[in-house]
C-alpha cells in the first residue's frame, strides 16, 4: 500500500498581514511607553563598563557584527552564495539569531528605561538632536520588526516570501538603529573604553 505523505498546510496571506499588524502595534506601544515612562538609571547595569552608555555602545557593536553574519548565513541557506550550505548552518543561524535578539532587547530596555523616546527639548532646555529622535523611532520600529520576524519563523502557513521579507526588514532597521547610535558614537567620540 502506498504511504500517505502529509500534505503541506495551505498558504495564507492572513499570516503576513497579522504579523505586520502585530509588529506595528508593538512598535507603537513601545514608543508610547518611552514617552510616558519617567527615565531612571535605577534598574540598569553597566556590566562593568564606566557608564550605561559605554556598555550599550560595546554590546551594540556585537549586535551589529552578528546581524551581518545573520545576513550572510541567510543568503547561504537560501542558496544565493553559489556554495552549498553546510548541515550545521541552520542551527548556527538560529542560535546566533537568538543571541542577537536577547542582546537587542537588553540594550533597548536600557535605552527605553533610562532615556525614553526623546523629542523636543530636554529638561535642561537643550534641543534633542534629529539623530536622537530618528534613533528612538527606529529603535521602537525594530522591536516591532522582531515580533513580525518571530511570527514569520513560527508560521507554517505563511507564503514563502514572508520570512525573507520579515528578515530583510529586521536587518535593515537594525542596521539603521546601530548606525544612528553606536556607529555615530564611535565616529564622534571613539571607542568608549578609551577614557569615556
Ligand atoms: C526601544 C527603543 C529605543 C529607544 C526609545 C532608544 C532611545 C535612545 C536614546 C534617547 C538614546 C540617547 C541618544 C543621545 O543621547 O543622543 C539612545 C542611545 C543609544 N541607543 Fe537607543 N533606543 C532604542 C533602542 C535601541 C536599540 C534596539 C539599540 C541597539 C541595537 C540601541 C542602541 C543605543 C546605543 C548604542 C546608544 C548610545 C549611543 C548614543 O548616544 O546614541 N537603542 N537610545
Q: What is the pLDDT of residues 29-45, one digit of tens each?
A: 999 999 999 999 899 99
Mean pLDDT by 10 residues, the chain (196 residues): 65 94 98 94 91 95 97 94 96 96 96 93 90 97 97 93 96 97 94 60
Which pLDDT belongs to residue 194? 43
Mutational test site, ligand 1, from 63, 115, 188, max ligand atoms within 8 Å of CB: 115
Whether ligand 1 lies within 6 angstroms of the CB of 64 is answered as no
Cell numbers standing for residue 52: 550605561
Q: Angle at the Cα of 37 (from 33 to 38), degrees rounded to 5?
A: 160
Question: How much is the pTM?
Answer: 0.90
Helix, strand, coil proportions of the chain in percent (round to 5)? 65, 0, 35
> Using DSSP, how many helices (H) and how many strands (E) does the chain show?
6, 0
CA of 173 to the centre of ligand 1 (A): 13
Amino acid at each position: 500500500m502506498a504511504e500517505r505523505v502529509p500534505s503541506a498546510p495551505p498558504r495564507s496571506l492572513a499570516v503576513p498581514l497579522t504579523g505586520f499588524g502585530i509588529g506595528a502595534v508593538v512598535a507603537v506601544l513601545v514608543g508610547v511607553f518611552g514617552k510616558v515612562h519617567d527615565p531612571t538609571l535605577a534598574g540598569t547595569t553597566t556590566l562593568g563598563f564606566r557608564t550605561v552608555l559605554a556598555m550599550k555602545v560595546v554590546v551594540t557593536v556585537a549586535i551589529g557584527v552578528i546581524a551581518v553574519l545573520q545576513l550572510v548565513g541567510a543568503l547561504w541557506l537560501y542558496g544565493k552564495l553559489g556554495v552549498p550550505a553546510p548541515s550545521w548552518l541552520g542551527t548556527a543561524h538560529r542560535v546566533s539569531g537568538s543571541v542577537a535578539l536577547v542582546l537587542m532587547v537588553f540594550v533597548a530596555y536600557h535605552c527605553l528605561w533610562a532615556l525614553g523616546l526623546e523629542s523636543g527639548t530636554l529638561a535642561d532646555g537643550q534641543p534633542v538632536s534629529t539623530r536622537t529622535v530618528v534613533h528612538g523611532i527606529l529603535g521602537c520600529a525594530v522591536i516591532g520588526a522582531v515580533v513580525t520576524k518571530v511570527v514569520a519563523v513560527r508560521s507554517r502557513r505563511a507564503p514563502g516570501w514572508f520570512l525573507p521579507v520579515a528578515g530583510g526588514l529586521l536587518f535593515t532597521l537594525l542596521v539603521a538603529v546601530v548606525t544612528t547610535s553606536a556607529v555615530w558614537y564611535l565616529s564622534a567620540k571613539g571607542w568608549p573604553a578609551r577614557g569615556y
